[in-house]
Amino acid sequence: MADDFSFEVVKSVGTVAEGKGGWNLELNLVSWGGRPAKYDIRSWSPDHQKMGKGITLTKEELESLKNLLNRVEIE
């Protein structure tokens, strides 16, 4: 089953946070197994060959998250 797992980072949107050992928490547009691409927030190794746990968002969910974050005041 692991051999059937494939993904493609269609577009790298940006780094949310930098981690230890070169790993970054990133927001990317990712296609899983050739399916339509969705926005994905997860930890990635520097070469994108290894990934950590993450969440996948639809475009609408990403817009809702952006709207929420725009309302947050940083003190």
pTM of the complete model beyond 0.95? no
C-alpha angle 23/5/35, rounded to 5°?
A: 100
pLDDT at 1 over 60: no
**Short-list 41, 7, 46, CA closest to 25:** 41
The confidence score (pLDDT) of residue 23 equals 93
The confidence score (pLDDT) of residue 3 equals 52
Residues contacting residue 3 through CB under 8 Å, at least 6 positions apart? none
Judged on CB neighbours under 10 Å (0-12, 13-18, 19+), 28 is buried
